[in-house]
Chain A
């Protein structure tokens, strides 16, 4: 079992550009949640996908969007990148939306210059 995998692991983008991050959930998991973690802070919830729909959204602007595919994998898209978007982006997968545990991927370190 490969667990939760994210790609790429590191990424450098310029202000104003767009970025797409990818996540493959752990085998048997159907729910994917995305988080942004700035240095020294806890992960901040961006949104959650279940059955290919966005089920809940955190306090993030519309520049942040996502998608879930029939195989449960997911993408996070960020448009018009700002310097403040530099962070570790984490994907967590679970079985259902009320599971007793969630597994995180290793994250994508995004640097906006």
Chain B
């Protein structure tokens, strides 16, 4: 099975940089996803990593180390609208590729 750990809450200041960590234990690995979820809304896809290294997409970057079972999501130039829950999800390597989600990190951006 899969076990996903991420911090429950984080606070940062507008314009700053924040790093949200995710560690996982898995019986099989076929990719790690990051999603953003605003309160009362559906998750929105942010990034996907399957190989080690950094993937950059605008203000958002995601890093993966498969040997360490570790990923982080880096948000730069924080804006108030970035206040949301950030979900880390790991997909296993079975034929159907089930994704297991962490409970999310609630990020609050303050002025």
Binding site for B on A (CB under 8 A): 33, 35, 40-45, 48, 50, 55-56, 58, 90, 97-98, 100-107
Contacts and interface: CB of A to CB of B under 8 A. Distances in A.
Nearest to A94: B97
A104 B30 contact: no
Interface in B65-111: 87, 89, 91, 94-104
Contacts of A90: 42-43
Interface residues of B, number: 26
A103 B101 contact: no
Given A55-B95, A97-B95, A102 B45 contact: yes
Given A56-B94, A98-B30, A100-B50, A45 B103 contact: no
B31 A100 contact: yes
Contacts of A58: 98
Contacts of A43: 43, 87, 89, 101
A40 B98 CA distance: 21
Nearest to B8: A40
22 contacts: A33-B99, A40-B103, A41-B103, A42-B4, A43-B87, A43-B89, A43-B101, A44-B101, A48-B98, A55-B95, A56-B95, A56-B98, A97-B95, A97-B96, A98-B30, A100-B50, A102-B45, A102-B99, A104-B42, A104-B43, A104-B45, A106-B42
Given A40-B103, A41-B103, A103 B98 contact: no
Given A42-B89, A58-B98, 5 more contacts: A35-B101, A43-B89, A45-B98, A45-B99, A103-B45
